[in-house]
């Protein structure tokens, strides 16, 4: 018997070509896409505008399930961390665990006004930034397009919340899993699918030069964030090993091209590490690096990871750092910590073994 295909792996155009080969009507792909992504239906028999013969045929060809919920935790601040089991690429009998996060945003009168979904693209990470939990265990595997999309759809089903934004800032380096992530972003952007505009989807990269060149050429329907963390070559090389072969100057040239071609600012992510990259001279070097770039800067408080020797900068030092950047005319923001108590904050994904299963508490409602 033929092994069913994961339907989330395919863009609408790919489904259209497959359906054409199977002599299905051309409009069927649009119908199916709408049922899956707009109505969140996971059963072909419930797709009532499809002929029964077509429903039966597609049930033989495709499956929806590519992961199962392993655990869920809800933070005191309303952040939700999901742990999913996916099949291991190394064995037919084992599985890997990946994590994604649902983040409350945009408070109005102390009530949540919107949520952002943070998704993963790899089980583990090859980049192994020195301050990040995800790089501590072995790299396991790239996720398929279906496994990336599944995180978003399953979080929507579980929470009954339609996200206003998606950030690809979970486990892994998105551009190290280029094709699958690109496919997933096209599905997110499709007007017959989840229908998120490029300003509502953000890809975060550690600065891999060659994939970034492809990213610009292929016109990904997303915004771009770069994990910079220092504008000093020596410091950045010590924090991000791949920076040794992906230099700051070459990165700057690529970013300048991106902002010129896309007419969108790049976001620089900068984790403040006590006595490492948080001094006034570090802020001045960052300001100089950004001086002629269309950009904004997100300052991030370091979130503790057991066994790693880093500390977050003092609040006074964080404000001084921010003041230097503002004095240079740069748009700068301090990212609010979310999910710290459940190890769901920036840099903490991958600490799953320290987290027990949690009760299925209801999420705070959106107002």
Residues 104 and 115 sit within 8 Å (Cβ to Cβ) = yes
For the question of residue 346 being annotated catalytic, the response is yes
> Token pair for residue 270?
């900068």
**Distance between CA atoms of 105 and 78, rounded to whole angstroms?**
10
Is residue 104 a contact partner of residue 122, using CB atoms and an 8 Å limit?
no
Catalytic pick among 66, 96, 99, 154: 99
Helical H segments across the chain, by residue range: 12-21, 28-37, 52-61, 145-159, 178-189, 209-217, 233-239, 248-262, 280-290, 315-327
Q: Which structure tokens are listed for 79? A: 């952040």
**From CA 339, how far away is CA 99, in angstroms rounded?**
13
Q: In what order do the strands lie in the sheet with 80-87?
A: 68-74, 80-87, 95-108, 111-118, 165-168, 201-205, 223-227, 266-272, 295-301, 332-335
Identify which of 101, 99, 18, 85 has the alpha carbon closest to the alpha carbon of residue 54: 18
Q: Is 99 a catalytic residue?
A: yes
The C-alpha angle 83, 85, 88, rounded to 5 degrees, equals 135
Check 125, 290, 295, 346 and give the catalytic one.
346
In angstroms, the CA 323 to CA 280 distance is 10
How far is it, in rounded angstroms, from Cα 274 to Cα 304? 12
Catalytic positions are 99, 346
């Amino acid at each position: 018997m033929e092994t069913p295909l994961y339907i989330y792996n395919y863009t609408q155009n790919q489904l259209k070509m497959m359906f054409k080969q199977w002599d299905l009507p051309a409009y069927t792909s649009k119908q199916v896409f709408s049922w899956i992504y707009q109505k969140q239906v996971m059963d072909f028999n419930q797709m009532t505008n499809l002929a029964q013969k077509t429903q039966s045929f597609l049930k033989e060809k495709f499956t929806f399930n590519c992961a199962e919920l392993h655990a869920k935790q809800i933070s005191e601040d309303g952040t939700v961390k999901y742990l999913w089991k996916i099949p291991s690429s190394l064995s037919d009998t084992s599985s890997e665990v990946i994590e994604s996060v649902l983040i409350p945003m945009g408070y109005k009168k102390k009530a949540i006004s919107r949520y952002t979904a943070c998704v993963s693209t790899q089980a583990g990470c090859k980049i192994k930034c020195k301050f990040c939990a995800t790089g501590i265990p072995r790299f396991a595997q790239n996720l398929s397009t279906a496994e990336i999309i599944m995180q978003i759809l399953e979080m929507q089903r579980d929470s009954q919340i339609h996200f206003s934004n998606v950030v690809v800032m979970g486990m892994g380096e998105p551009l190290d899993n280029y094709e699958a992530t690109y496919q997933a972003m096209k599905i997110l952007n499709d007007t017959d699918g989840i229908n998120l505009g490029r300003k509502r989807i953000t890809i975060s990269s550690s600065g891999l030069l060659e994939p970034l060149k492809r990213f610009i050429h292929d016109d990904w329907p997303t915004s771009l964030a770069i994990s910079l963390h220092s504008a000093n070559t020596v410091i950045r090389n010590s924090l991000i090993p791949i920076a040794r072969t992906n230099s700051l100057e070459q990165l700057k040239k690529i970013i300048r091209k991106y902002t010129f071609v896309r007419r969108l600012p790049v976001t620089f992510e900068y984790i403040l590490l006590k006595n490492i990259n948080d001094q006034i001279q570090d802020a001045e070097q960052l300001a100089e690096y950004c001086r002629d770039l269309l950009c904004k800067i997100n300052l991030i408080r370091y979130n503790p990871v057991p066994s790693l020797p880093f500390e977050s900068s003092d609040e006074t030092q964080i404000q001084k750092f921010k003041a230097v950047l503002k004095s240079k005319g740069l748009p700068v923001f301090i990212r609010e910590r979310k999910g710290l108590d459940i190890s769901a904050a920036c840099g903490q994904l991958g600490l799953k073994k320290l987290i027990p299963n949690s009760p299925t508490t209801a999420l705070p409602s959106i107002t």
